[in-house]
Structure 1
């Protein structure tokens, strides 16, 4: 894909900042895991409490990066970070200064391989930081286009959901290859509790397992896929109408269907039972399953704290509580390289 350059760097035309910052968020899939692969809708949302920060400082020479996986010259980054390396080169080309010397520091609170969109969130933070450095406006469309540079290298055929959600102020409604849009919602009191099982998710294995079920046992699997899609549609309406009780019920139904498809685990099942026993409105796995995280909807922050404590006592390696109060319900176009 070709990207139009902003213009060749000329110090008298473009005055670079000395330092720049870009942020993004983790994501969770709220509804539609696996069924999204089969053309059904899904809902994902950003997690403000789990973020990535990219900081750029201009230097006299060299292009250095420091992150949890690598510390050194960017041109010496290993192949497991090829997506990030290529994205940085693309950004410098687009912004018109391939040889710009700088130090880039990436700080991430997102655990890897938990279905929380770590690579996409890193890409979004990087893009925002470089556009901030050059003080160039960044549209949401361009942001997602550039994030796809890294995602294609890292994931092969990404749906676009991770980057769209990591860069969003509100939930994302996705139908693969058809619709990728922000949706409004109105929740004030409820909170979401996210718990890490401590077990790496197995996306490829889980997707293959569901595919085998669809092929080998279509009478069982296809109705479950269809029902997961219907649940996502009902959940969108529940979000728009503040029907938190229905949201919880739909989460429980979704978990039951995902377990029937074979992608839950004994640990995730246990976490869901514990969350419900501590007054969660609903609980389910999030992401591909076979490990990773679960989520629970609490009626208020006090309940969320009790659920979080119970899950940690049951073996969750990390928990986060996400309030909905600060979510932006505007879908208007804006400059997307503002620091989040």
Structure 2
């Protein structure tokens, strides 16, 4: 039996359409070590985003439409299990919505590339459901629900991705929820190169965990070294020492290689960015695919770096000027 929107349970108490948005994120330094309590530096990236629309369905069962799947929520494939979980927990258990809904997810964030796609989708979906239900949503509620989704998606998330979904400024973060805004002054440009291969974040996180749990000396030294590099990077940012920041980023990439989370494609892109004059370059995110980043303080060098990345095999590139939107955000 098909229901009209007007017949949907509780529809009269809710909006016709709920909207939710979120942006991508880039980890500048500190991925993997942040899982073990170390600091990480990350920046929100609004050049790509997710928009979720939620509306009462005319069908007896909820549906979802996204780039990976179109059909019934109850038949969603395991590859997007975190999305299924977010829908069930937020709509049914948290908000008590019993009527069938249609979820339309539109995203320009490349999936499984280390740019926070799964956290961004979860964030936008949660916001859309709360908007649809016309219920207030606190930051702590939002972060808690994103964290549940990220645990399913990645196994042992640092919490950084979810936190960045609620921020507009670059931050330095330490687990569990210690966060401080960073201020990028002057001219600094971030270039992102997409390897064209999906990142295997969950696999990489679990593999590093196995190394740490087995008391692997090289892995422990790499994690400790990355911690110190991030702290030094924070000082370089405060002093606008971009050449030093670049040097630290490249050293960070070396230790990520030691941990076994890079790939030959990412290593080639890092090398090509440095050859084109980048001040520093490294992988970003979980690794084993996904994206790499590079920085320059010369706006005239941005396009040369991007062009060299494409020649070296990058599927696409992005460029972003690092800055602080508002010290209070």
- TM bucket (normalised to shorter chain) is 0.7 to 0.9
TM-superposed CA distance for 1:131, in Å, is 1.8
CA contact (8 A) 2:34 2:158 kept: no
Please state whether the residue corresponding to 1:289 is helix, strand or coil. coil
Q: Which of 182-191 and 287-296 deviates more?
A: 182-191
CA contact (8 A) 1:172 1:180 kept: no
Question: CA–CA distance in 2 between the matches of 1:318 and 1:197?
Answer: 8
Please state whether the residue corresponding to 1:189 is helix, strand or coil. coil
Please state whether the residue corresponding to 1:137 is helix, strand or coil. coil
Please state whether the residue corresponding to 1:247 is helix, strand or coil. helix
When normalised by structure 2's length, the TM-score is 0.85
Counterpart residue number, 2:6: none
CA contact (8 A) 1:192 1:298 kept: yes
TM-superposed CA distance for 1:230, in Å, is 0.8
Counterpart residue number, 1:282: 280
CA contact (8 A) 2:155 2:202 kept: no
Unaligned runs of 5+ in 2: 1-8
Instruction: Go from structure 1 to structure 2 and tell me whether the alpha carbon gap of 1:213 and 1:91 turns closer, same or farther (over 3 Å shift).
Output: closer
Question: CA–CA distance in 2 between the matches of 1:182 and 1:24?
Answer: 20
The answer to whether 1:29 aligns with 2:48 is no
Question: CA–CA distance in 2 between the matches of 1:81 and 1:225?
Answer: 30
Question: CA–CA distance in 1 between the matches of 2:156 and 2:210?
Answer: 20
Instruction: Go from structure 1 to structure 2 and tell me whether the alpha carbon gap of 1:17 and 1:284 turns closer, same or farther (over 3 Å shift).
Output: same
Q: How many residues align?
A: 318
Counterpart residue number, 2:4: none
Counterpart residue number, 2:63: 64
The answer to whether 1:104 aligns with 2:103 is yes
Counterpart residue number, 1:129: 128
Counterpart residue number, 2:169: 170
Question: CA–CA distance in 2 between the matches of 1:160 and 1:187?
Answer: 27
When normalised by structure 1's length, the TM-score is 0.83
Query: Residues 260-279 of structure 1 correspond to what in structure 2 (within 5 A)?
Result: 260-279=258-277
Query: Residues 7-26 of structure 1 correspond to what in structure 2 (within 5 A)?
Result: 11=12, 14=13, 16-26=14-24
TM-superposed CA distance for 1:289, in Å, is 2.6
Question: CA–CA distance in 2 between the matches of 1:43 and 1:279?
Answer: 23
Counterpart residue number, 1:335: none
Question: CA–CA distance in 2 between the matches of 1:210 and 1:227?
Answer: 15
Counterpart residue number, 1:185: 183
> Paired residue for 2:291, among 290, 293, 296?
293
TM-superposed CA distance for 1:194, in Å, is 0.7
Instruction: Go from structure 1 to structure 2 and tell me whether the alpha carbon gap of 1:145 and 1:209 turns closer, same or farther (over 3 Å shift).
Output: closer
Please state whether the residue corresponding to 2:273 is helix, strand or coil. helix
Counterpart residue number, 1:4: none
* Aligned CA-pair RMSD: 2.7
Q: Which of 239-248 and 302-311 deviates more?
A: 239-248
Question: CA–CA distance in 2 between the matches of 1:268 and 1:245?
Answer: 21
Counterpart residue number, 2:91: 92
Cα offsets for 1:285-337 (capped at 9, x unmatched)? 11233322110012144322221121012110121112224734324xxxxxx
Please state whether the residue corresponding to 2:173 is helix, strand or coil. strand
The answer to whether 1:159 aligns with 2:158 is yes
